[in-house]
């Protein structure tokens, strides 16, 4: 009887924890990053010198964030916000 109770409680605990372990889909943040990356590439193609290098560096930062998200690694939301804000500046 004790074995049955222990098994039942274990299964219940796992079933209750499953929604907590589920990872939310990236949603609109990924599409925002992809749009920002494309826009930075376009702007960098129209610019030269130091400003071009700054745009390419921002594009590379966004690319790394997208790679981390695709690989399932943890990404700090502040890093995403910072990258999108930097990409929004002319």
Structure tokens at 56: 């390419």
* Integer Cα distance of 71 and 25 in angstroms: 13
- The one-character DSSP state at 75 is -
**Confidence (pLDDT) at 56:** 93
Q: Which residues, at least 6 apart from 24, have a Cβ–Cβ distance to it below 8 Å?
A: none
Identify whether the C-beta of residue 33 lies closer than 8 Å to the C-beta of residue 83. yes
**Confidence (pLDDT) at 66:** 93
**Confidence (pLDDT) at 28:** 72
Q: List the domain boundaries for the chain.
A: 28-88
How many Å separate Cα 38 from the centre of its chain? Answer: 16
Q: Is the pLDDT of residue 13 over 70?
A: no
State pLDDT tens for residues 33-88.
999 999 999 999 999 999 999 999 999 999 999 999 888 888 888 999 999 998 87
Q: Is pTM beyond 0.75 here?
A: no
């Amino acid at each position: 009887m004790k074995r049955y109770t222990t098994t039942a409680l274990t299964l219940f605990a796992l079933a209750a924890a499953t929604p907590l372990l589920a990872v939310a889909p990236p949603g609109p943040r990924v599409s925002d990053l992809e749009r920002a990356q494309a826009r930075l590439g376009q702007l960098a193609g129209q610019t030269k010198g130091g400003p071009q290098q700054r745009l390419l560096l921002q594009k590379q930062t966004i690319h790394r964030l997208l790679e981390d998200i695709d690989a399932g690694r943890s990404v700090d939301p502040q890093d995403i916000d910072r990258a999108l804000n930097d990409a929004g500046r002319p």
